[in-house]
Structure 1
Amino acid sequence: MRVIRKYANRRLYDTQQSRYVTLEDLRRLIIEEEPFRVEDAKSGEDLTRTILLSIIIEQEQADSEAEVFSNDLLAQLIRVYDMSSPLPLSRYLEQGTQLMLEQQKRMQNQWKQAIRHTPMEFMREFAEENMRFWQKTLNQPNQPNQTDDDDTPDKSS
């Protein structure tokens, strides 16, 4: 697992690549499914959640069209923290999000297959398959006659 150290000056240092990184660099690691841990440079305290939340905040502010957390949703999340026995919201959100991502990948794959198999593409593949069949058939010696010759008894015996 890649270790990122956060220094007092708020800079993030990637110990694997020996260079300073930005929140955008860490966002790319997340997209590439590269595991990492952010720790305080002095104490070693795990700061990963705080950094992940910072990445989400940055994304929410950068693109208002792709806003995931509405004001109402954020208010509801704050209310969950105030409940006497909080809901297992984390597990529910993780599983729901994972399911949504898997379904999105499956849908994208199905679209790729559907686009690949347009009627014209299907006809082209069908024609190529037929062409290969006939080329193979016409280039082979007459198989049945050879078999018939082998089945007839040798007259010289």
Structure 2
Amino acid sequence: MTSKKAAPNAQPAQRVIKKYPNRRLYDTDTSSYITLAEVKQLVMDSEPFTVRDAKSNEDLTRSILLQIILEEETGGAPMFSEAALANIIRFYGHAAQGFMGSYLEKNVQAFTDIQAKLAEQSKTLTPEMWAQFMNMQNPLMQGMMGSYVEQSKSMFDKMQEQMQKQTEQMLGAFLGKR
């Protein structure tokens, strides 16, 4: 009799959620139907999962994540202003679409990393130390935010350089074909 043990450093199997034509979501791990709110909780808990169409097996994960964002945005306190959403829409189909997606992704990750560092450091703070820490005069807070701003600026500069190189290549190819 052999037992199936996961390797000590093995990644857990990715959870599969099936979406049926009646729009219900079925969690294959728990063998039960779940709600969009429960899928959101999986995201909040950093649980790896994928959403698949029950008939075609098409990956619907992005669609479900966008649906969660839509519900959050139409709920109480939206994260994006109308102007920000309009600007994001304008990048679709634009030559810089790929750069913008990458830029946003890297900035969100950098912000998430800073937030995680703050959370880790806050575990050892007393309420008095926390109040002092949150004061923007705090050198550590200024350093972390400065680091984020610098990282964001660096990513933007790289994006501009890549766009300039592509423009030069396109113009070179265009002007060379006369």
TM-score tier after normalising by the smaller chain length: 0.5 to 0.7
Q: Does 1:71 align with 2:82?
A: yes
Where 1:17 maps in the other structure, the secondary structure is: coil
Q: Does 1:5 align with 2:18?
A: yes
Residue equivalent to 1:128: none
Residue equivalent to 2:109: 98
Paired residue total = 116
Q: Does 1:27 align with 2:40?
A: yes
In 2, the alpha carbon distance for the partners of 1:100 and 1:84 equals 26
Residue equivalent to 1:62: 75
Residue equivalent to 2:54: 41
How far has the Cα of 1:87 moved from its partner? 4.0
Identity %: 44
Over residues 51-108 of structure 1, what are the superposed CA-to-partner deviations in whole Å (9 max), with x where a residue is unaligned? 00000011112222xx211111111111100314524222212211111111112223
TM-score, normalised with respect to structure 1: 0.68
- Gaps spanning 5+ residues in structure 1: where? 119-157
Q: Which protein has the larger Cα radius of gyration, Structure 1 or Structure 2?
A: 1
In 1, the alpha carbon distance for the partners of 2:23 and 2:122 equals 44
In 2, the alpha carbon distance for the partners of 1:46 and 1:2 equals 13
| Structure 1 vs Structure 2 CA RMSD | 1.8
- Gaps spanning 5+ residues in structure 2: where? 1-13, 130-178
In 2, the alpha carbon distance for the partners of 1:94 and 1:110 equals 24
In 2, the alpha carbon distance for the partners of 1:46 and 1:81 equals 21
In 1, the alpha carbon distance for the partners of 2:18 and 2:59 equals 10
Residue equivalent to 1:18: 31
Amino acid at match of 1:86: Q
**Aligned match of 1:86 in 97, 108, 112?**
97
Over residues 129-154 of structure 1, what are the superposed CA-to-partner deviations in whole Å (9 max), with x where a residue is unaligned? xxxxxxxxxxxxxxxxxxxxxxxxxx
